[in-house]
Amino acid sequence: MVLVGDVSGKIAIIVDDMADTCGTLVKAADVVIEHGAKEAIAIVTHGILSGNAIEALNGSRLRKIVVTNTVPHAEKRARCDRIETIDISPTVSFFLGFRLLVYPYVVAVFLFYLKGALIMVSYLAGRGV
């Protein structure tokens, strides 16, 4: 794994679309910590967390992993206190209603709340836009 950029003295935020066995997240956390990051936090859209993912997370250098509730994981969360869940149902219901007004321009909007900051990532598309 290759690190691009300087993470010395910083909080490294590792973003991924899904975490299955968490091997890549654990390795990425190791790399950024070895390069001087103060801590590593993962933000993942779909926390599948299969196989030995919980054991990998508990033994990792990740301070926490933030996942949405697109995949049920309550029993896994009970075994790993590093898992933090974001409920996406209010966001999905709001933007499904909003989409009726602006279709076809807003395709997807993702909201993440991390350490007091709201991060919004949106993907815009449409005919001729």
How far apart are the C-alpha atoms of 127 and 125, rounded to whole Å? 7
Least confident of 41-55, 82-96, 102-116: 102-116
What are 12-65's pLDDT values in tens digits? Answer: 999 998 999 999 999 999 999 999 999 999 999 999 999 999 999 999 999 999
Domain ranges of the chain: 8-86, 88-129
Average pLDDT, the chain: 82
Strand pairing class (117-124; 106-114): antiparallel
| pTM for this prediction | 0.74
Assess whether pLDDT exceeds 50 at residue 86. yes
* CATH code of the region 8-86: 3.40.50.2020
Assess whether pLDDT exceeds 70 at residue 102. no
